[in-house]
Amino acid sequence: FKGLMAGKRGLIMGVANNRSIAWGIAKSCAAHGAELAFTYQGDALKKRVEPLAAELGSKIVVPCDVTDAASMDATFDTIAKQWGTLDFVVHAIAFSDKDELTGRYVDTTADNFTKTMFISVYSFTAVAQRAEKLMTNGGSLVTLTYYGAEKWMPHYNVMGVAKAGLEASVRYLAADLGPKAIRVNAISAGPIKTLAASGIGDFRYILRWNEYNSPLRRTVTIDEVGDSGLYLLSDLGRGVTGEILHVDAGYHIVGMKNPDAPDI
Ligand code: NAD
């Protein structure tokens, strides 16, 4: 499989540090020969992302805040100028005010609801609009979602509603872009300790619960999510679009607590 991604060029959006899920996917793609470009959210993350990008031999590392259309345009202009075409994009971006990722969903504010939806849902469509123009040979887009889109989860609140919207976007984008051989999929990752996850109330409990109750009796790593990303982004996934692929040690099939699980 060494040459699986040889000749493919991809944009990785959402690396904050070496614990980021986007970093796991970037590593898997680079290991199989992909050429990568990276975005970082702002100056604070520049110093973290630049050395990581360099580790994978990337020559394009640009700032991009998805709430700023001009910075989105500039990112895709850079890709257009440097590469001309684009084969894949990883969108691993979400945000919500931490104060609303605890307590009750019903208490969510209009402001944070709007902000959460814009950054965590609309930004993927905004990316697809720009990527479409560069994917003249077809392409593959992957975003990251969570089981809290499908079922109620404590503390996930407005982010669960956002992920449901994101998953619906995957289906609508897949239908729109399919005729151009652009595939659109999401990975529904099990809980992983990242910067974003640290904003979710009682995250350690969620990790432990998954470890005790998932069929594989453990949680997943960014490297495992990375290899599933590789499948969707490479030609191995060429027949797959509009899919929500669970990479969660099987947790999504579980209907009841494992009777052998210890108390948490
Ligand atoms: P992370 O903190 O490493 O990544 C989140 C990224 O979103 C950061 O790089 C941050 O800079 C970026 N971001 C936020 N607002 C932005 C903006 N306005 N413009 C540009 N970038 C912005 O955490 P992660 O867990 O790797 O998150 C990546 C994705 O995976 C998210 O969509 C998250 O919801 C999803 N996910 C995470 C888990 C988990 O347990 N960690 C599980 C399932 C899905």
Residue 146: active-site member: yes
Closest Cα to atom 33 of ligand 1:
94
Q: Give how many domains the chain has, as a whole number.
A: 1
- Does residue 2 register a pLDDT over 90? no
Question: Which phi and psi angles does 247 have, rounded to 5°?
Answer: -120, 80
Contacts of 108 (CB under 8 A, 6+ apart): 100, 157, 158
Radius of gyration of the chain (CA): 18
Rounded CA separation 74/134 (Å) = 14
Q: Annotation-wise, does 115 bind a ligand?
A: no
CA proximity to 88, closest of 139, 125, 53, 128? 139
Residue 251: active-site member: no
- Asked whether the whole model's pTM tops 0.95, one would answer yes
pLDDT, one tens digit per residue, over 219-241 is: 999 999 999 999 999 999 999 99
Select from 13, 17, 19, 21 the residue to mutate for testing ligand 1; criterion: most ligand atoms less than 8 Å from CB.
21
Whether 14 lines ligand 1, by a CB cut-off of 6 Å, is: yes
Evaluate whether residue 264 is within a structural domain.
no
Evaluate whether residue 110 is within a structural domain.
yes
Average pLDDT of the chain, as a whole number: 97
Question: In this structure, what CATH number is given to the domain that contains residue 213?
Answer: 3.40.50.720
| Enclosing domain of residue 24 | 9-249
